[in-house]
C-alpha cells in the first residue's frame, strides 16, 4: 500500500515540497527533534559532510535536492554554459563524503537528465531538474518497501534480529532498508524483535535505531557493540540484517565500521547475515571491495561525546567510518528487484 506522503506518523528525515527543503538534524537525536531549513547546494553539502543527514539513500536524496538548488541559482542563459557550471557545483556535493555510492549515483542521474535536455531553455532545465530531484526523493520509500517485501520471507517468526548502525527510515527517504525488512516481517504477522548495536563512535544504533523503533512501537533492545558475540554465543541472535553504503560487483559490502566484525561472528555461530540495499547502492564499476574508498572521520568522534572527553588529550586516534565485509560472509543481498546469494557476480549483474 502506498504510504501517505503527509502522514506525520511515518518517519522521513528529509522534507522536499514546493522547492523548500527541511532536514531532521540527526546529530541531535534522540534528545531533540530539530528540523533545519536548506536553500543552497553549499549548505546541503555541509549537511552531508557533518552528518546532519546520513545513510546512503538519504545522502543520495539530499545530494539530488542540493543539485537542484545548484541549478536553480545559476544565472546563465546558455544551456551549455549552464551545464558546465552545474557540473562544477555537483562536484562540490560529490566531495562531501566518499563511501556511499548513492551520493554519486544521484548526482550522475541529475547530470544525465540535464545533458539529455540541453536543447531546452535554461528555465525548462531548471524545472525538469526539480522534478528529477522530487522523483529521487519520492521513489526511495517505495523501493524500500519492495526491499522489505523481498526480505520478509527470510525472517522466521519470533526472530531476534541483530542490527548494526541505522539502516532505517532515518537513513533513507522513509521505511528503511534493513529496518524495512523488519517492518515488512512484522506486517506479515511475524513477531520479530530487534537487538540494536549502539555502533560506536557516532552511535547511530543507540541514538537513531533505538529512537526510530521505539517511536514505531517495534520491540528493540540496545547493546554495546562488544556484546554481540556473547549474545550469539548464548543463542540469543537468530539473524543479522544490515544496510550498505556501497556493494562491489562481486558482492563485497562496505558498511558502517564494525559490520565486518559482526559478519565474522555470525559466520562463527552459523547465523544468517543479510544485507538490505537498493540497486542504487550497487556499484558494478568496482570489481571488488578493495576499490571502495573508506572515509576516515575526525578523531574527535572517538575521543569525545559532545564536549565530554573519553580519552586523554592528544591521544592518537584512528576513525575509519566504514569497513569491508567480503561477499563470502554475506548470506544474501536483499534488493528491491529480488534476493541475490551465492554467485554474486552473476546475480548482481542480472538485477540491472
Ligand atoms: C541504509 S544505508 C545506511 C548506512 O549508512 C550508514 O552510514 P552513515 O551513518 O555514516 O551515513 C551505515 O553504514 C548504514 O548501514
State the distance from the centre of ligand 1 to the C-alpha of 294, rounded, in angstroms.
Answer: 13
What residues line ligand 1, using a CB cutoff of 6 Å?
54-57, 165, 167, 171-172, 177, 204, 242-243, 245, 255-256, 321
Tens-place pLDDT, residues 310-347 = 999 999 999 999 999 999 999 999 999 999 999 999 99
Select from 294, 37, 24 the least CA-distant residue to 169.
Answer: 24
Tens-place pLDDT, residues 65-106 = 999 999 999 998 799 999 999 999 999 999 999 999 999 999
Question: Do 14-145 and 146-350 have matching folds?
Answer: no
Is-above-0.95 flag for pTM?
yes
Complex ipTM, two decimals? Answer: 0.98
Using DSSP bridges, classify how beta strands 246-248 and 20-24 pair: parallel, antiparallel or unpaired. Answer: unpaired
Q: Which CATH class is domain 14-145?
A: mainly alpha
Q: Which CATH class is domain 146-350?
A: alpha beta
The CA distance from 65 to 137, in Å, is 8
Residues found in the chain: 352
pLDDT band at 7 (very low <50, low <70, confident <90, very high): low
Q: Which three cell numbers stand for residue 352?
A: 540491472
The CA distance from 178 to 159, in Å, is 14
Burial 264-301 (b: 16+ CB within 10 A, else e): ebbeeeebbbbbbbbbbbbbeebeebeebebeebeeeb
Cα end-to-end span (Å), the chain: 25
Peptide bond into 292 cis (omega under 30): no
Peptide bond into 201 cis (omega under 30): yes
Domain map of the chain by residue range? Answer: 14-145, 146-350
State the distance from the centre of ligand 1 to the C-alpha of 256, rounded, in angstroms.
Answer: 6
State the distance from the centre of ligand 1 to the C-alpha of 115, rounded, in angstroms.
Answer: 30
Respond yes or no: is residue 245 known to be catalytic: yes
pLDDT at 8: 63
pLDDT over 50 at 1, yes or no = no
pLDDT at 2: 45
Question: Which of 245, 252, 283, 323 is the catalytic position?
Answer: 245
pLDDT band at 6 (very low <50, low <70, confident <90, very high): low
Please state, rounded to an integer, the average pLDDT across all residues of the chain: 96
Tens-place pLDDT, residues 296-307 = 999 999 999 999
Nearest CA to ligand 1 atom 5: 55
Q: In Å, how far from its chain's centre is CA 274?
A: 15
Amino acid at each position: 500500500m502506498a504510504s501517505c506522503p503527509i502522514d506525520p506518523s511515518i518517519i522521513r528525515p528529509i522534507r522536499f515540497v514546493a522547492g523548500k527543503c527541511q532536514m531532521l538534524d540527526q546529530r541531535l537525536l534522540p534528545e531533540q527533534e530539530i528540523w533545519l531549513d536548506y536553500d543552497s547546494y553549499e549548505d546541503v553539502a555541509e549537511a552531508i559532510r557533518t552528518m546532519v543527514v546520513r545513510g546512503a539513500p538519504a545522502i543520495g536524496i539530499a545530494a539530488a535536492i542540493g543539485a537542484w538548488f545548484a541549478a536553480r541559482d545559476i544565472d546563465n542563459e546558455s544551456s551549455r554554459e549552464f551545464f558546465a557550471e552545474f557540473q562544477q557545483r555537483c562536484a562540490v556535493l560529490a566531495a562531501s563524503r566518499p563511501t556511499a555510492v548513492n551520493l554519486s549515483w544521484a548526482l550522475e542521474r541529475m547530470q544525465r537528465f540535464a545533458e539529455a535536455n540541453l536543447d531546452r531553455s535554461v528555465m525548462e532545465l531548471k524545472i525538469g531538474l526539480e522534478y528529477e530531484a522530487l522523483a529521487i526523493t519520492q521513489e526511495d520509500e517505495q523501493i524500500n518497501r519492495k526491499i522489505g517485501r523481498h526480505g520478509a520471507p527470510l525472517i522466521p517468526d519470533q526472530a531476534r534480529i541483530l542490527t548494526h548502525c541505522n539502516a532505517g527510515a532515518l537513513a533513507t527517504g522513509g521505511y528503511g532498508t534493513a529496518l524495512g525488512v523488519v517492518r515488512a516481517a512484522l506486517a506479515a504477522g511475524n513477531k520479530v524483535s530487534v537487538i540494536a548495536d549502539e555502533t560506536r563512535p557516532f552511535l547511530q544504533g543507540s541514538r537513531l535505531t533505538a529512537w526510530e523503533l521505539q517511536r514505531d512501537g517495534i520491540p528493540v533492545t540496545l547493546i554495546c557493540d562488544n556484546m554481540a558475540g556473547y549474545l550469539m554465543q548464548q543463542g540469543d541472535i537468530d539473524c543479522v540484517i544490515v544496510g550498505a553504503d556501497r556493494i562491489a560487483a562481486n558482492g563485497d559490502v562496505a558498511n558502517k565500521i564494525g559490520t565486518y566484525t559482526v559478519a565474522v561472528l555470525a559466520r562463527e555461530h552459523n547465523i544468517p547475515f543479510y544485507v538490505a540495499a537498493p540497486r542504487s547502492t550497487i556499484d558494478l564499476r568496482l570489481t571488488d571491495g578493495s576499490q571502495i574508498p573508506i572515509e576516515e572521520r575526525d578523531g574527535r568522534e572517538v575521543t569525545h561525546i559532545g564536549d565530554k572527553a573519553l580519552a586523554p588529550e592528544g591521544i592518537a586516534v584512528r576513525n575509519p567510518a566504514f569497513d569491508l565485509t567480503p561477499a563470502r560472509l554475506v548470506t544474501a543481498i536483499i534488493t528491491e528487484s529480488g534476493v541475490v546469494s551465492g554467485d554474486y557476480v552473476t546475480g548482481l549483474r542480472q538485477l540491472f
